[in-house]
Structure 1
């Protein structure tokens, strides 16, 4: 056991003791920065309390950053997307002010739903992942999944008598993101299982979805009208609905790039 003395300890011994203590207490940032900060403290006229505060805040910042990275990794996003990368100029249907308000994650804090509706290439999935990433960075537990994948998992869980446990697992996360809802028809059993997940989360945790179908077309996915109406109600009540439009800015960008390449080749 290391013994610390108030007097008579050399600088080298003090550094060695702090290094060992940081290893035992798992304080990697303090371990890596205390020597440089201690050297800078006299020059910056830093008090003992100021020096200690700098070290502890550096450690807190490191832990918060690592925790944020873990939440983002655990969310299972298929790719990284950020709001900084989103081209608002290319899609006039999307109001930057509304998206910036959603980026505060207050809707997740209030357990409200979010629906992103629009054709392919209009930025639905980009916004879904980017806003969910903001929520993860804000401290919320997030889970991303494709609608078909979620339903298949629920069907398999039901067959293996693990449905209750699986629904509870999806119910615990603060934000559940369901992408590509509406791309395929679900049979009644699959639709009912998805409805159970949504019911488990109702008014207790948020759900965000991205769909290429307007709500009027959801009967193609949920073929039983009453069940379809109930699912729409679960996903829209009190929440935010963002319509990303029908014009694919991704396709327009591809065309513009092709035209530019042709001009360059001709010139």
Structure 2
């Protein structure tokens, strides 16, 4: 097959030892090997006369790239299904629709997932409907493409699930799964004020992940309101110190996507800020609102 493949990519190359495999057989073989993107890309090359001017290595590289991209996309979709992300979000759509304030350099930095590899956290705030869930899930998609395990939870649903796991004797297993997930997305953060028991369990989740994995929080409340909504000052200090000590912040502002864009992919204009503050300043601002 190797000679046939080289012959297919380089029609002028003389045969050595065996006849070339017919094109349709070559394409079928690629499908049998579960390489459909590579097969489609090969057919595209056959249809493009300019491909004959490209080197064998160049054409092969483009075929392999097409297949790698397909597998990355499928892997991301699988991770997103398992994570139960609600939005089929993509950073390219955010970019293509011209949302202002989020610079290309910021998008590239976030999409690289270097912040996940460094176990930094990301805190996204903004009013209801502004696109927090879309952005959070788009970043989750980028992490999934790069083989980072992912879980998405609305905070109220997570707290309910932890209660259920406790009653069923599965709490330790659930805590372990949350601890080893590379990127944990917590949406609707503090949309309801949790009970002290819930805050204690939340502190345990955040504490066990500190320095090991990244947490992405999306909330309609500004960070300086979180301490009050968590209730118990001591527990609130423990949670916020761990969340904000090494964290990036994005603040979204503008008109609601739901009000102005029936299609969730049709993004409206907004303002985005991204910042990294020293740990002590993070802690002070979370407690005092300064």
Question: Do the two structures share a fold, i.e. TM-score over 0.5?
Answer: yes
Q: Where does 1:115-134 land on structure 2 (aligned, <5 Å)?
A: 115-134=123-142
Aligned residue in 1 for 2:110: 102
CA contact (8 A) 1:72 1:137 kept: no
Greater radius of gyration (CA): 1
Q: Name which of 58, 78, 83 aligns with 2:86.
A: 78
**Residues 15/119 of structure 1: CA separation in 2 closer, same or farther (3 Å cut):** closer
Structure 2 residue matching 1:161: 3-state secondary structure: coil
Q: TM-score, normalised by structure 1?
A: 0.74
CA–CA separation in structure 2 for the residues paired with 1:203 and 1:227:
19
**Residues 62/228 of structure 1: CA separation in 2 closer, same or farther (3 Å cut):** same
Aligned residue in 1 for 2:263: none
1:105-141 per-position Cα deviation (integer Å, ceiling 9, x unaligned): 2211211011123333444333323333333344432
Q: Greater shift after overlay, 143-152 or 116-125?
A: 116-125
Where do 5+ consecutive residues of structure 2 fail to align? Answer: 5-14, 261-290
Structure with bigger RCO (C-alpha 8 Å, 6+ apart): 1
Aligned residue in 1 for 2:12: none
CA contact (8 A) 2:189 2:217 kept: yes
1:164 CA drift (Å): 1.4
1:9 CA drift (Å): 3.8
Q: TM-score, normalised by structure 2?
A: 0.69
**Residues 98/23 of structure 1: CA separation in 2 closer, same or farther (3 Å cut):** closer
Aligned residue in 1 for 2:211: 203
CA–CA separation in structure 2 for the residues paired with 1:115 and 1:48:
47
**Residues 128/85 of structure 1: CA separation in 2 closer, same or farther (3 Å cut):** farther
Q: Name which of 50, 65, 71 aligns with 1:57.
A: 65
Aligned residue in 2 for 1:258: none
Aligned residue in 1 for 2:164: 156
Q: Greater shift after overlay, 174-183 or 53-62?
A: 53-62
1:220 CA drift (Å): 4.8
Q: Name which of 147, 166, 189 aligns with 2:155.
A: 147
Structure 2 residue matching 1:44: 3-state secondary structure: helix
Structure 1 residue matching 2:211: 3-state secondary structure: coil
1:189 CA drift (Å): 1.9
Structure 2 residue matching 1:114: 3-state secondary structure: strand
Q: Cα RMSD (Å) of the superposition?
A: 3.4
Q: Greater shift after overlay, 136-145 or 226-235?
A: 136-145
Where do 5+ consecutive residues of structure 1 fail to align? Answer: 255-267
